[in-house]
Structure 1
Amino acid sequence: MKIKDILPIFLFLTSFPFYAQNEKTNQKFEKIKAYKISFLTADLELTPAEAEKFWPLYNTYEDRRYELRHEKMKTYAQKLNDDTINSISEKQAGALLSQMESTNRKLYLLKKNYLSSLRRVLPAKKIVKIKKSEKDFNRKLLQQYRNKAGKK
């Protein structure tokens, strides 16, 4: 057998564990997401009608927020490491600053539109409680992780 015949098989076999691991990670994220939905629905005391309108708004907001924050981190992390920050020109720093302001503006407008949309489907008290419920969920999830890690 020639190397060009073996190479595709080798690549498939070596990439399979990464695919399986990625699939396992996706399953964990989906499990956490389902747990979060359950937790927030109960904690916010959402009625079925409220939940039906709330979750599409929340998921869209969270997805877009994640995209913007990921884009922001990717852009800034590359340009703001120790070697680069000391060697960039004033013009490059100004452009980076403008980019940061633009991303922050997009995040602000996203949040503003999200809150405006929420006002149409939830009472103000429940909207205010969302942030606290998210923090409680994250704290509970972290505690479960710590307990699980401590048992190993």
Structure 2
Amino acid sequence: MKIKNILSLLLFLISFSFFAQSTKADEKREKIKAFKVSFLTTELELTSTEAEKFWPIYNAYDDKQFELRHLKMKTYLHKLDDDNLSSMTEKEAVALLSQMESTDKELYLLREKYMANLKKILSAKKILQLKKSEDDFNRKLLQQYRDKAAKD
């Protein structure tokens, strides 16, 4: 697996547990989202015209991606705990695997549509800068999480 995929998965799992453990999950998610918006705005240097078109597309994509990953994966992780997995029939395992593949397809199609929409408003260079900035943000967030965990 590529390091970027590993980081993305790790960030997801950390944010998943971070949100699941908190009674103020929505507040924390919004705080992280605001931090991300600020970070991306600085990094991308969007024109006002680009920003006006970019943020609605980005936010819709980000919300749908979160929904797919958070809500559906939460169900999958619950079904994959040791007790459930050991008592699962082969038919149930096939059904769960099919659901997971379906979610992966949904995420792929969502990303494909998102990229097509981005290409209409941003240059290829800015799209690549966006990808790099998102990766940088994820590393920064992960580092903050590690630093906070080390203090506790």
- Whether 1:92 and 2:79 are equivalent positions in the alignment is no
Alpha carbons of 1:92 and 1:123: their partners in 2 closer, same or farther (altered >3 Å)? Answer: same
1:126-145 matches, cutoff 5 A = 126-144=126-144
* Structure 2 match to 1:76: 76
> Equivalent residue of 2:87, what SS?
coil
Q: Can you give the 5+ residue segments of structure 1 that lack an aligned partner in the other structure? A: 1-20
Separation in 2, partners of 1:143, 1:65: 23
Find 1:22's aligned residue among 14, 21, 24. 24
1:105-120 matches, cutoff 5 A = 105-120=105-120
Range with greater deviation from structure 2 (106-115 or 65-74)? 65-74
* Structure 2 match to 1:58: 58
Q: How many residues align?
A: 130
Give structure 1 regions of 4+ aligned residues with deviation exceeding 6 angstroms. Answer: 148-152
Which letter does structure 2 place at the counterpart of 1:60? A
Separation in 2, partners of 1:64, 1:111: 10
Which letter does structure 2 place at the counterpart of 1:22? K
TM-score, reference length from structure 1: 0.73
* Structure 2 match to 1:14: none
Alpha carbons of 1:149 and 1:85: their partners in 2 closer, same or farther (altered >3 Å)? Answer: closer
Q: Can you give the 5+ residue segments of structure 2 that lack an aligned partner in the other structure? A: 1-22
Separation in 1, partners of 2:48, 2:104: 34
TM-score, reference length from structure 2: 0.73
1:146, CA displacement in angstroms? 5.7
1:22, CA displacement in angstroms? 3.0
* Greater relative contact order, per chain length (Cα 8 Å cut-off, separation 6+): 2
Alpha carbons of 1:75 and 1:121: their partners in 2 closer, same or farther (altered >3 Å)? Answer: same
% identical equivalent positions:
62
Alpha carbons of 1:77 and 1:42: their partners in 2 closer, same or farther (altered >3 Å)? Answer: same
Alignment RMSD (CA, Å): 2.4
Separation in 2, partners of 1:117, 1:56: 11
Q: Which structure is larger by alpha-carbon Rg, 1 or 2?
A: 1
* Structure 2 match to 1:39: 39
